[in-house]
Amino acid sequence: MILVLESGNLQSLFDTLISEKYQIIGPTLDNSALIYDEITNVDDLPVGYTDEQDGGRYRLVKSGGKKYFDYVVGQHTWKRYLYPPEKKLFELKRKGDGFEIVENKQEIHKRAFIGVRACEIEAIRIQDEILLEGPYKDADYERCRQNIFIVAVNCVRPGGTCFCVSMGTGPRATKGFDLAITEIVDNSGHYFLIESGTKAGEKIMKEIKGKEADQNAIETADRLMKEAENKMGRRLDTDDIKELLYRNFESSRWEVVAQRCLNCGNCTLVCPTCFCINIEDISGLEVNSAKRVRKWDSCFTLDHSYIYGGSVRTSAKARYRQWLTHKLASWIDQFGMSGCVGCGRCITWCPVGIDITEEVQAIRESEGKGKIMADKEE
């Protein structure tokens, strides 16, 4: 089913989701930053804003336009809601001579994510595979993941650090959504082309104030998507990438990048696929209770590789190499897929603008192959 929804009727989608008891989470502004948070009204969206992104640079700017989704991804990811930065797993309370376990019975809402980009859908799929389909199922992730309704937004204007085309993950959402929206402003007006991907999506479509899409709207959306493919801010040559990185374990490029890398871990915290955690046990000063907490961790910290006797990766070089090689090579051996979806966040939010695509290209060129390929393209 494909519908056209006039922009003035977008609220009917929100109202229908709310009447179906969904808590809506979507992009909104907070302290001049674009974040994902609970929203209830279309006016909560960053209407008329767009973003400028480059290595180590993010600016949210007023476009003067009326579009609801004229920006791409910011520093937040949906994993905040599926795999939160900090989570109490359980608590122990003293009871007589022993302890009783108080389980974390936090209520999990039925949620609708609005504005999920194609690369982000792929990132959720990757985390599903790792946290639900592997040998160890994460029960907490499973609880958060169920009852999620995904409203995808196709990217007609990719960001300055996006490279989803290289990773085969975007800019159009092709699966993993309940509804997918393309926002169009043309001679016919300002409207959304909406398609359903699931039965739950179809049910919502029947309730909103749309009309059947005509061929013109469908062709316009197709054209915008094709144009978007050619506007990617970055490109990553993934040919033979696993072998390339394994072959270059001792490349001098790791030293070069390590001189810039602050080991701050920003790149891992903004990445929608990174899933490393640390478990902390915290006891109260009154010695009557203790809790176990799960927190996001980063392979850029010394403690992350600490085993008996010390840390395995003591240098900045070793930690950056571990991160990049895991993302693009050993992740494939581990899980049968890449650990990168090309969202560009690690480039934008790196305070010194280190660029994963540039680092891979530098390693390629050090073998004399990247340069030849670039020459051919010119």
Q: What residues line the site for ligand SF4 (CB under 6 A)?
A: 261-267, 270-273, 300, 327, 340-346, 350-352, 354, 356
- Looking at beta carbons only, is 179 or 261 nearer to ligand SF4? 261
Asked if residue 263 lies in contact with residue 322, where contact means CB atoms within 8 angstroms, the answer is: no
Asked if residue 275 lies in contact with residue 83, where contact means CB atoms within 8 angstroms, the answer is: yes
H/E element, 200: helix 199-207
- Looking at beta carbons only, is 69 or 300 nearer to ligand SF4? 300
The CB-of-47 to ligand SF4 minimum distance in angstroms stands at 26
Residue with tokens 């959504």: 177
The CB-of-182 to ligand SF4 minimum distance in angstroms stands at 22
The CB-of-362 to ligand SF4 minimum distance in angstroms stands at 14
Asked if residue 61 lies in contact with residue 51, where contact means CB atoms within 8 angstroms, the answer is: yes
Asked if residue 127 lies in contact with residue 91, where contact means CB atoms within 8 angstroms, the answer is: no
Task: Give the residue among 298, 300, 308, 263 at the shortest CA–CA distance from 278.
Answer: 298
Sign for the pseudo-dihedral over CA of 223, 175, 10, 81: negative
- Looking at beta carbons only, is 50 or 77 nearer to ligand SF4? 77
DSSP state letter for 284: -
Residue with tokens 């992009």: 27
- Looking at beta carbons only, is 217 or 340 nearer to ligand SF4? 340
Task: Give the residue among 245, 237, 238, 229 at the shortest CA–CA distance from 337.
Answer: 238
Q: How many CB atoms lie within 10 A of CB 270?
A: 21
- Looking at beta carbons only, is 51 or 195 nearer to ligand SF4? 51
- Looking at beta carbons only, is 42 or 150 nearer to ligand SF4? 150
Which token pair is 127?
Answer: 């985390």
- In angstroms, the CA 5 to CA 41 distance is 16
The CB-of-45 to ligand SF4 minimum distance in angstroms stands at 23
- Looking at beta carbons only, is 162 or 217 nearer to ligand SF4? 162
Per-residue CA distances from 15 to 29, 39, 135, 153 (Å): 21, 11, 40, 18
> DSSP for 49-67?
EEEEEETTEEEEEE-SS--
- Looking at beta carbons only, is 176 or 344 nearer to ligand SF4? 344
Pairing of strands 179-186, 189-196: antiparallel
The CB-of-238 to ligand SF4 minimum distance in angstroms stands at 12
